[in-house]
Structure 1
Amino acid sequence: MDNIRPARAEDHSAIIKIWHAGWHDAHAHLVPEPLLKFREIEHFWLWLEGSADQFFVATSGKSIVGFVATNEAELVKLYVASGARGTGIAAALLAFGERNIADSGVTDALLYSTAGNTRAERFYRRNGWVLSETFQDALWLPEKVANMGVVDTHRFNKHLG
């Protein structure tokens, strides 16, 4: 990994590709099957276009190998390209996201993870995040689509002070 920088419009295709593949790797088996028709690539574009999150990308040469997104006190998304997993990029992106949140004056950060995403759960715990609650949460769907279900969701917290 060379750098972590703010995402630019020309990075969106790479973000979507990593996000779509990573979401399916980690979440597809954890959500109600009817929801999967709303997790095609075009829906990730809608999700990104409607997002108020700050996105940052990790680069290696000219390639984007992962990204993190934050929004106020929340670390919203963290995905790494499959070929770059296990290289320390996820830890670097997590630390970057935490610094971004702390730099805005927030001392207590949070993130949500679909329950059952055990690889993510272990990773967050190893990096000082504490599971504070598990609850049922509605899944993101495009506007005008009726709620198709909820999943058990973990809330993790970390003191950044």
Structure 2
Amino acid sequence: MLEIRPAREADQSAIVQLWHQGWHDAHAHLVPTEILAFRTPAYFSLWLKQTTDVFHVAITDELLGFVSINGAELVKLYVSPQARGSGTAHDLLSHAEHLLSEQGVVEAELFCTAGNVRAQRFYAREGWRLSRTFEDALWLPENIAGRFTVETHCYQKHLGLR
């Protein structure tokens, strides 16, 4: 049975592994190749340590996915390849929407790299609407000079009051 709960310190390794794999599956072909040097498991681990996002994980016998939120934003949503098509992404997204609504967020947003067609279709099916497209800076470690951008879609969803 699927359980969605706040992430624990013991989940960090599995989160990093899934995030690394999922990011490369969805984004590696859409970003400047120079950024790939900063998308190794070690950098995802650093990124996780630096973030102020609140993570929740989907667990059965193993970690199947995670979602993170920060303010009014759904920041990250990843599911393992074996969980794709199982409803886990829907469950995590609904969970995050509920958390945001409980925090008083009426209009939530998320950002998706343009060209990530699987994610774009999923968000549209789940009632998120494309509000704008812009060039966004990609994450780099704090001590690295330079800037890489990618075309990014901003999706919004009215959560209303629950």
The Cα shift of 1:147 comes to: 2.5
Cα distance in 1, alignment partners of residues 43 and 133 from structure 2: 26
The Cα shift of 1:101 comes to: 0.5
Q: What is the TM-score when the length of structure 1 is the normalising length?
A: 0.98
CA RMSD across the alignment: 0.7
Q: Counterpart of 2:153?
A: 154
Which residue identity is paired with 2:31? Answer: V
Cα distance in 2, alignment partners of residues 2 and 114 from structure 1: 28
Structure 1: 5+ residue stretches without partners: none
Cα distance in 2, alignment partners of residues 152 and 146 from structure 1: 20
Q: Counterpart of 2:102?
A: 103
Which residue identity is paired with 2:84? Answer: R
Cα distance in 2, alignment partners of residues 73 and 95 from structure 1: 14
Q: Counterpart of 1:85?
A: 84
Q: Deviations over 1:96-118 (max 9, x none)?
A: 01001100001000000000000
- The 3-state SS of whatever aligns with 2:152 is strand
Cα distance in 2, alignment partners of residues 148 and 32 from structure 1: 11
Q: Counterpart of 1:51?
A: 51
- The 3-state SS of whatever aligns with 1:146 is coil
Cα distance in 1, alignment partners of residues 82 and 71 from structure 2: 30
Cα distance in 2, alignment partners of residues 146 and 120 from structure 1: 30
Which residue identity is paired with 2:134? Answer: F
- The 3-state SS of whatever aligns with 2:141 is coil
Cα distance in 1, alignment partners of residues 74 and 102 from structure 2: 13
The Cα shift of 1:73 comes to: 0.4
The Cα shift of 1:84 comes to: 1.1
Which residue identity is paired with 1:118? Answer: V
Judge which range, 65-74 or 145-154, deviates more: 145-154
Q: Counterpart of 1:131?
A: 130
- The 3-state SS of whatever aligns with 2:26 is helix
Cα distance in 2, alignment partners of residues 116 and 92 from structure 1: 23
Cα distance in 2, alignment partners of residues 73 and 149 from structure 1: 25
The Cα shift of 1:22 comes to: 0.2
The Cα shift of 1:148 comes to: 3.5
Judge which range, 140-149 or 80-89, deviates more: 140-149
